[in-house]
A and B are shown apart, each in its own frame.
Chain A
Amino acid sequence: MIRRLLLAACAVVGLSVSVQAQVATGNLRIGLREDPDIMDPTLARTFVGRIVFASMCDKLFDINERLEIVPQLATGYVWEDPRTMLITLREGVRFHDGDLMDAESVRYSLNRHMTMQGSFRRGEINTIEAVEVVDPLKVRIRLTAPSAPFLSQLTDRAGMIVSPRAAESAGRNFGNHPVCAGPFRFVERVAQDRIVVERFPEYWNAAAIHVNRITYLPIPDSTVRLANLQSGALEMVQTIDPDDVPTVRRNTRLRTSISDELGYQSITFNIGNGVRGQTPLGRDPRVRAAFELAIDRDALNQVVYQGMFTPASQPLPPANPFFIRDFRNEPRNVERARALLREAGVTTPLRVELTVTNSPDLRQVGEVIQAMVREAGFDLRLNTMEFASSLQAAQRGDFEMYLLGWSGRVDPDGNSWSFMNTTGPQNDGRYSNPEVDRMLDAARIEPDADKRRTLYGQIWQLAIRQDRSRVYLWHRKNIVAHTARLTGFVNVPDGVIRPQGIRLQ
């Protein structure tokens, strides 16, 4: 009898061990490009922070690799009218402190995003007029105006639901110990060294989680980040340089995973921001067109990025459903560029200045452009600046051209409105065209996807091709590298590493 009991016990232990081994094994170590900022969904602002949030804080909705919006903490939504959205919540979801997530916690979190001092989410969801609890699993959101991009905001930090009890008691220190409803719970953070999270057994989608622990390690130097992966000190790195892709591909123990990012790299022209906009370049679209036509995007991409990136002429990457296929890149045409400069009546060489942030690849980009536009009659000076200083200079209008990237949003509004609208907060060059403003506003509230796409096509034609408000250069790629032991990773274009599905052998 005792023997049989022992046997049974052994079997149970053995079984549970083997099940455990199948369900979740190992410590996944991910190398990040920089140290994230505060880990509070309301106050956070860095991109790398979103990668860490993906393991701790689930959102109402998520996006998949095809950029479709899919349910996460919500199970669905309906527009009751163009300004009212009813969201149905998933049942039985628990926060890391054991509390149940319900409509009240959604209301609390959205209100926190909207009202907390220093919130970075307010701008994303400022169309919310009121959040109402209908029943424990239903929330009604009333907007001040119809908004096509609104739903997509709930797929990022603004859609993260925090535990009201934990948030209330921690106040502004919530970021030092975040409590959400994601697959992993916070364990510890050593600033500039590591952030550790462990598997949360009561996660609503626990079956999709196959690792026990994730350690995020900020390693700023890209060579060293890769060295860590090569030597087995990391299982995954957030990003590697395009130069390093061949090295990783040659290594049989490593894999790369590449997707188009959501954003772009562009040159902003100073058109109306202070005296430095009062140049031939700022005043005359023909001069800007000449500048653009002098640039060979493919060559630029080949020389600096080994041809890894995607040459661009519009703010949306080809993967975006609103990408306008008919809006093609113009090939380099030096003859036409020279003719345009003659037409504009400027004396060549025309002296212009490009502000570049101080990173080796962007400086190289500046130098290549410098050589290209010289042939068309531009004497391009590069003004290399440290990032924080360049932001301030751009804001003040202390620039003629500014080379800057945008990380990108799923919804086309996030890549256009605030850069092209006269009152757009990121319109550093103060470009202004009432017709463009009108269409941007119309696209914002247009519920029909096809009509919206047509509007964006017209906007690109006007703001980019005709007015030359900005030169789009390329879309970067998310180049994730990982060990061959890691499987099941899905590379979503937003560059956020989702732990769901990842296995370590």
Chain B
Amino acid sequence: MWLFLLRRLGQVIPTLLILSVMVFALQQLMPGDPALILAGEERGDPVVLAQIRAELLLDRPLAEQYLSWIWRVLHGDFGFSWRIHMPVGDLILTKLPVTFQLALMSFVIGVLIGVPCGVLSAVWRDRPIDWVINGIALFGISMPNFWLGIMMILFFSVDLGWLPPSGYVPLWEDPWMSLQTTIMPAFVLGTGVASVLMRHTRAAMLGALSQDYVRTARAKGLGERLVVGKHALRNALIPVVTLGTIEFGRLMAGAVLTEQIFSIPGFGKLVVDAVFNRDYPVVQGVVLATALIFVMLSLVADMLYMAINPRLRTA
């Protein structure tokens, strides 16, 4: 177990290094000159442009730019945002709890709705309840987040006046207000997750319910609740856990549209603004941080497998 963990952690470093090169290269492929966008309405002044390029090392060879950046990153220095002159490390640290809170709430909503619905529709396959759940899930997957978000704002904030339309209050400042500001975006994101989880839980449950061990369990005279809950669900959950961690990772990478609509200052907004403003240090920093989160989450998924399925522990 520990050996496995160590081995997996050892893989993290080369993964991140390769990724850092890729992010750096991809940014170079992006059209648009950062100096031009930074210069704003002064963009026509060659002196201003030359100065910006010199200051940001944009006039140096790419390899030198990359090495100087990665060297500082290895020392824990992600550099400064070109646009607002704040340290990228600080920006990431202030956005991380916001995105984490939103991701966690969305994920909980998604799991609470998705998994039970998946089980129900598998157990009552081809019955009206199955159709209804499938219909809702299809709706949930196909509905664009920004549309649902705006509709919720117009209904709950403008018409009813129950919730603040947008913005964010940190959990430690005012927990009640914080819940109020995040419940709508979390629901918008959660419905998407719920639909995906529901479809997969249903498929996995259908597979499990047709297995021999389920027939054996039933033949033994076990109650249906035990058969479904203990025998079938436990086995069906493994692919669902994989998917769940991927979904959680996606939520942590920042829900770009949803954050934009609800003006939530999270990862998604940070990286989108940075891309549009060609704020390379911020883009690089956020992508690296997101990659790290993904790698860590897949590690967590592996450990969850072992908890659910003891046979995997010996491997």
Residues of A within 8 A of B (CB): 35, 37-38, 40, 43, 45-46, 117-118, 120, 122-123, 172-173, 175-176, 190-193, 217-221, 223-224, 227-228, 230-233, 386-389, 391-393, 395, 406-407, 418, 424-427
Contacts and interface: CB of A to CB of B under 8 A. Distances in A.
Interface string B241-262: 0000000000000000000111
A391 B43 CA distance: 9
B84 A191 contact: yes
B39 interface: yes
B85 A193 contact: no
A219 B86 contact: no
Nearest to A234: B165
B273 A228 contact: no
Nearest to A418: B44
B55 interface: yes
B9 interface: no
Nearest to B277: A388
Sorting the interface of chain B by its residue count into under 10, 10 to 19, 20 to 34 or 35 or more gives 35 or more
B79 to A, nearest CB: 13
Main secondary structure of the interface of B (DSSP, over half): helix
Contacts of A191: 81, 84, 86, 91, 94, 265, 270
A219 B32 contact: no
User: In this complex, which of A193, A220, A230, A427 has the most chain B Cβ atoms within 10 angstroms of its Cβ?
Assistant: A193
Interface of A is mostly: loop
- Closest 6 pairs between A and B when the two form their complex, measured CB to CB: A425-B44, A388-B32, A45-B40, A193-B265, A389-B31, A426-B44
Interface stretch (B151-159, B199-207, B284-292, B296-304): B151-159
Interface of B: 30-34, 36-48, 51-52, 55, 81, 83-86, 91, 94, 150, 153-154, 157-158, 161, 164-168, 260-263, 265, 269-270, 273, 276-278
Contacts of A230: 157-158
Contacts of A386: 31-32, 276
Nearest to B272: A220
Contacts of B277: 388
A426 B38 CA distance: 15
Contact of A425 (B43, B83, B168): B43
A224 B32 contact: no
A231 B157 contact: yes
A120 B40 contact: yes
A219 B91 contact: no
Given A227-B165, A425-B45, A117 B51 contact: yes
B251 to A, nearest CB: 18
B88 to A, nearest CB: 11
B43 A224 contact: no
13 contacts: A45-B42, A118-B52, A123-B45, A123-B48, A221-B150, A223-B153, A224-B263, A233-B157, A386-B31, A388-B277, A407-B41, A425-B44, A427-B44
